[in-house]
Amino acid sequence: MDLKKFGKWLASLKNEGVDTIPLEERRSFLKMGLKVTGVFAGGTILSVASKLEKAQAIPPAYVGTFPYKPHYAMVLITDRCVDCELCMEACVRTNHVPPYGWRTRIFERKIKGPEGYVRQFMPVLCNQCNIPPCVRVCPTKATVKDPKTGIVKMIPKKCIGCKTCMTACPYDMRYFNEERRAVDKCDFCWESRLSKGGKITACAEACPAGVRIFGDLADPKSKVYQIVYDPARVIWVLRPETGAKPNVFYTIEGLG
């Protein structure tokens, strides 16, 4: 098949959109460094546009150095959580979160225990991912991964309110702030506390049950480090399949 014919055949293919492509295939395809253009023939994606140079930049340029110093991280000991929502109240006070918005939330689930179902609360906040999908999709670079601390920050004046980052976030931890006309999110209290010499986030300080352990993951003396690198402890992150590599870890104390 010469190139002209191939071109014609390619042009005659129906554009099936990118929605129907299975995630796995899409990902491996993107890994090869090719763009998903929407031509999807017989279960195989076809594309002639290459963006190899972009795909080869691993880790992506916006990730910065790793580990950061300090490498801010949080451990959530979920079975200590009783959903008193004092953390959420403290967050709202500290970061002026409007009633329709959230920087952290608590979810509830029923899990099967030895004596029937037990309630478990799960606090969720921005995971400050090492490979943040929100940063990757932002068209105006209004959300950035801070090269020093690794905190995913917002630059509100650059935000055009397209909300693409809200869709990209695997944890639904972004909301559109109507007053600021910009997307808002948790920044580990960088603006309100850490940049002013604070050592701990408002939510971690407010928690009466010691669920939220905040600290420097690069410091072996910190509690966060000791918990995360404790070989006897089960540690997990939310939605690891997205490949975002979160800096918010989950564990349980075994209070069942």
Q: Which residues bind another protein (CB under 8 A)?
A: 79-86, 106, 108, 118-121, 208-209, 255-256
Nearer to another protein, 131 or 209 (CB): 209
Calpha distance 73→237 (Å, rounded)? 12
Element (H, E) at 5: helix 3-12
Calpha distance 115→90 (Å, rounded)? 35
Nearer to another protein, 109 or 239 (CB): 109
Nearer to another protein, 107 or 236 (CB): 107
Q: How far is the CB of 53 from another protein (least distance, A)?
A: 48
Nearer to another protein, 124 or 138 (CB): 124
Closest CA to 190 of 141, 99, 128, 248: 128
Is 60 in contact with 147 (CB distance < 8 Å)? no
Q: How far is the CB of 172 from another protein (least distance, A)?
A: 16
Nearer to another protein, 79 or 184 (CB): 79
Calpha distance 135→129 (Å, rounded)? 10
Nearer to another protein, 115 or 241 (CB): 115
Calpha distance 245→127 (Å, rounded)? 9
Is 159 in contact with 139 (CB distance < 8 Å)? no
Q: How far is the CB of 207 from another protein (least distance, A)?
A: 10
- DSSP symbol at 39: B
Pairing of strands 40-41, 182-185: unpaired
Token duo for residue 158: 């650059």
Q: How far is the CB of 178 from another protein (least distance, A)?
A: 24
CA distances from 77 to 4, 6, 112, 140 (A): 61, 57, 18, 36
Q: How far is the CB of 117 from another protein (least distance, A)?
A: 11
Q: How far is the CB of 119 from another protein (least distance, A)?
A: 4
